Amino acid sequence: MFSMKRWIRWMALVIPALGGLLDLPAADFRVQGSDTMVTLAQRWAEAYMGENPGVSIEVNGGGTGTGIAALLNRTADIATCSRRIRAREVEGCVRRFAARPREYPVALDAVVIHVHASNRVEALDLGQLSGIFSGRIRNWSEVGGADARIIPYSRENSSGTYEFFKEAVLKRGDFAGSVQMLQGTAQVLSAVAHDPNGIGYGSGALSAGTRAIRIAPAPGTQAVQADESTVRAGSYPLSRRLFLYLDPAVDVGKLRQWIEWIRGAAGQRIVGEMGYFPLEVPPGR
């Protein structure tokens, strides 16, 4: 056993060492929110820190709702959101910041409907899609497919993509109890890829084993594939913008410079590389 003198001497060495380990530099900017945007935001952060070695940026996901909560709790400087902020959330910001949150569109995106690669259904209209996810349509034969039960997969309710889908497709109605809620787009795509009767939705990226289907805004209208031209024109029914939200009081200095970089040529080039669509058509195209 240690003598008291040896114990004091040991503690005198250990405590300063632990203090050094715990005294890690805090990030200059903390970003949290949309799981759709988390990899994009990480790429922005990595590229910007590479160009600006004195800047430290921390990026986390958790969903749009989680990001807005973190913004209100001041545990995040920026909330990444795959939908526009809600009126009640704006009210929370006004109470917290004494001002409306600053909004920055940063990319264009599409919520794509994925089916298993073997599924013969080529297109659905929004009414059929609503019927599938609300439980009114339960068999693929009802929409031109095989005689098989439909297995729908959805994002979880903290997701901005979930909120966007619920508003655009279900018109704020409820998902059927049979819809399987999953944490992220990757999990939804994986589930559909392994389920011949599955259908799910998520941001534009595809996965091996799935196929994107065309969507019509109403019965009898033209079904449209999601691509840059249809998303940019707004003719794809599930087109959307991706956003950053922040307290106007912190929208200065280094943080403002990073946001301007994101919305400029370098940041928008990364948007395209990650499978989203830049806010504007790049020069020379």
Q: Does residue 131 lie within any of the structural domains? A: yes
Whole-model pTM? Answer: 0.84
Residues 228 and 137 in one domain: yes
Residues 38 and 119 in one domain: no
Q: Does residue 139 lie within any of the structural domains? A: yes
CA nearest neighbour of 88 among 68, 74, 105? 68
Percentage of the chain beyond pLDDT 70 is 88
Least confident of 7-11, 30-34, 225-229: 7-11
pLDDT at 281: 61
Least confident of 26-40, 122-136, 252-266, 269-283: 269-283
Residues 80 and 150 in one domain: no
| Per-residue pLDDT reduced to its tens digit, 200-235 | 999 865 567 899 999 999 999 999 999 999 999 999
Residues 119 and 226 in one domain: yes
Residues 227 and 258 in one domain: no
Range of the domain at 257: 26-108+243-273
Residues 98 and 205 in one domain: no
Residues 205 and 263 in one domain: no
Total domains, the chain = 2
Residues 117 and 222 in one domain: yes
CATH number at residue 81: 3.40.190.10
Confidence of residue 185 (pLDDT cuts 50, 70, 90): confident
Length of the chain, please? 285
Residues 199 and 262 in one domain: no
Confidence of residue 12 (pLDDT cuts 50, 70, 90): very low
| Per-residue pLDDT reduced to its tens digit, 231-261 | 999 999 999 999 999 999 999 999 999 999 9
Cα torsion angle, 43, 44, 50, 53, sign: negative
pLDDT at 10: 46
pLDDT at 4: 52
Q: Does residue 5 lie within any of the structural domains? A: no
Residues 97 and 158 in one domain: no
Question: What is the mean predicted confidence (pLDDT) over 80-90?
Answer: 95
Q: Is it the case that residue 16 has pLDDT exceeding 70?
A: no
